[in-house]
Each structure stands twice: as C-alpha cells, then as structure tokens.
Structure 1
Amino acid sequence: MSEMRDESVDDGFDDSLLEEELRQAAAILDPIPAELSRIAVEAFALRDLDAGLAELTFDSLVDALPIRGETDPPRMLTFRAGEVSLDIEVSAEGLFGQVMPPQSARIEVLSGLRTARSLAADDMGRFTDEAPPSGPFALRLRAGGEVVVTEWLRA
C-alpha cells in the first residue's frame, strides 16, 4: 500500500531561498542588457493610462513586397483605434502622416524620456515633422477629446 504525502507537512525546504538563488544565477549568467532596461523604464514612464491603444494594422517592413531598385524606401505604418486611423510615413526626410477621418489634432512624437515633440494636424488631418524619429518612438494623438497612443516602434 502506497503512503500519501500530507501537503501540510513542512519538509524544511525554503522556496524563497531557492527563488533568490535562481535570481542571482540569472543575473550573473544572463543579465538584462542595460539598453533594454533603460528603454523599458522610459516606455513605462511615458504610459498614458487614459489613452486608447492604437493597434498597428500595417507595417511596410512586414506586410509589403520590396520595390526593386529602391535602396532606402520609406516605412509606411497604419494604426487604428476604433473609428480613428493614423497613416504614417517615416523616412530620412522626416515623419509625414494623416489622421483619418480628416480632422485637426495634436500629435506628440514620444521618444524616451526626452520632451515630446508636438505637431499640429491641419483640417485635412495632415501633419509633418522634419526630424525623423530615432530609436524607439510612439505617437500620442489628441483629437476631439479623445487620446490615442500608438505602440512603441523602433525607427
């Protein structure tokens, strides 16, 4: 007859001690890169709890076929949040975009802990920024009392 083990019996094994030893081993053998840790902290600091998240629905790096002869094509992105969409072109010349349906709006280009650059979309929803984003970036759209934030991307 097999003996059943009583789960309430203390076997003297300290789970918290094992967990701490595993954390220390992971920190030594597979540390988190400093750059990744910095980017994660910056992204968390810039979160906007009241904003809706705009889903990336098109990225030319993933969804488009390469154009023959084109050495540095612009990156085309489309984000959607409910009825609002944001079409963006990112190139060496800057950032160009349009809010759909067309409407005036404020767009902030977020990048790390640096101050966000603020852009104005005209009545047709068009906006430009002559400085292309570098490193991780996201956009925050404010239009008609609604706030929408895109996911973070690397330029």
Structure 2
Amino acid sequence: MSGAHDDAFPEEGFDDAGFDGTGIDGDLLEEELRRAAAALDPVPAELRQIALGAYALHDLDSDIAELTFDSLVDALPVRGVPDAPRMLTFRAGGLTVDVEVTGEGLIGQVLPPGPARVEVLGGPLAARPVAVDTLGRFTSDTPPAGPFALRLRTGGQVVVTEWLRA
C-alpha cells in the first residue's frame, strides 16, 4: 500500500519520540496539556464529587461508612495551633472508625477493636494496606494527597468510607 501515508511518515528518520524526528518528550507535552486544560477548563466541583461517588461504587458488596464528624466543619478552631490535625469519624452500623490526618500521615482506630485490614484508597492509585493491631489501631506514614477513602475488612464485612479531599 503506497500513497499519501507513505509520504507523510517516511520510514527513514522517523522517531517514536516525535513525528518529525525532533525528539519531543511525550510525557512533558502531556503534563503541559494537562496543566493548560486544568487552568482553561477546570472540572466543576459537582462533577468531581459525582465521579468520586461513582468510583466508590466499584466495591458494591461493601457498606458505606458515613462521615459523622469532621474537625474542619464541626469543631471550633484552637488558637495558637496553625496546623492542627484533621479529625474524622466514620460510622457504618456498629462499626466506628476514628482517623487523624496530619502532614505526616494517618493515625486511626477501628472500634470495636478486633482483627481488621485497612487500605488507604487514593483514586486510580493502588490501595495502600496499613497494619492494624489487636486494639484496632493503625498508622500510615504516607499522607493522603488528593481525594482519599479507607476500605476496612473486618470479619465478613467490607466497609468503605466516604471520599474526602486531604
């Protein structure tokens, strides 16, 4: 097969990095285009919330833990504490999860205490498992960046918290 396609993309001198052999960095170009799109046509906050809610549904067999306390909304600010940790409480049935979000990571506890597995979800990123001790306490040395949720597996129950922005 010959014709215009052969003339537009000659084999000799063709480089995967750029159609004209200039060596354009595709990753850099993609990042620049993402920044431009975010600045010129940002995703509306309502659409972002809908997308996060839809993503949470990929665990259809799980219960959703409702956010019942958020120190950003429900607590009075403390004078003299510029970077106070964010305190969160989630509830699903008889299960409660208390979480403290800091710049250094997460500290939390599952109540009632017992054997459990906790994973930190971060959008399309892979879930990060965190160890849970016999008292239901867990820590993560990685602070969440962007939207996050927790997935808890305790006994036969799977619970996913509401998605929040760190």
* 1:89 and 2:100 aligned: yes
Question: How far apart are residue 119 of structure 1 and its match?
Answer: 1.1
Q: TM-score, normalised by structure 1?
A: 0.73
CA distance in 2, matches of 1:59, 1:38: 20
1:52 and 2:63 are equivalent in the alignment: yes
Query: Which residue number in structure 2 is paired with residue 103 of structure 1?
Result: 114
Structure 2 residue matching 1:80: 3-state secondary structure: strand
* Equivalent residue, structure 1, for 2:18: none
The within-5 A match list for 1:22-41 is: 33-34=42-43, 41=51
* Corresponding position: 1:68 with 2:54: no
Q: Deviations over 1:64-83 (max 9, x none)?
A: 11111000000000000011
Deviation at 1:104, TM superposition (A): 2.1
TM-score by structure 2 length? 0.69
Confirm or deny that 1:135 pairs with 2:146: yes
SS of structure 2 residue aligned to 1:61: helix
Please tell me the residue identity of whatever aligns with 2:121. Answer: L
Distance 2:42 2:49 in 1: 10
Question: Is contact 1:100–1:125 with CA below 8 Å preserved after alignment?
Answer: yes
| Residue 31 of structure 2: aligned partner | none
How many Å separate the matches in 2 of 1:94 and 1:146?
A: 25
Equivalent position of 1:119 in the other structure: 130
For this pair of structures, how many residues does the alignment match?
125
Q: Is the 8 A contact 2:52 2:163 kept in 1?
A: no
Counterpart code for 1:113: P
Q: Name the Cα RMSD after superposition.
A: 2.1
Distance 1:131 1:58 in 2: 22
CA deviation vs aligned residue, 1:96-147 (integer Å, no higher than 9, x gap): 0000011121111111101010112111000000011010001110001100
What is the distance in 2 between the residues matched to 1:54 and 1:72? Answer: 26
% same residue:
61
In 2: Cα distance, 1:66 partner to 1:112 partner: 29
Q: Is the 8 A contact 2:147 2:163 kept in 1?
A: yes
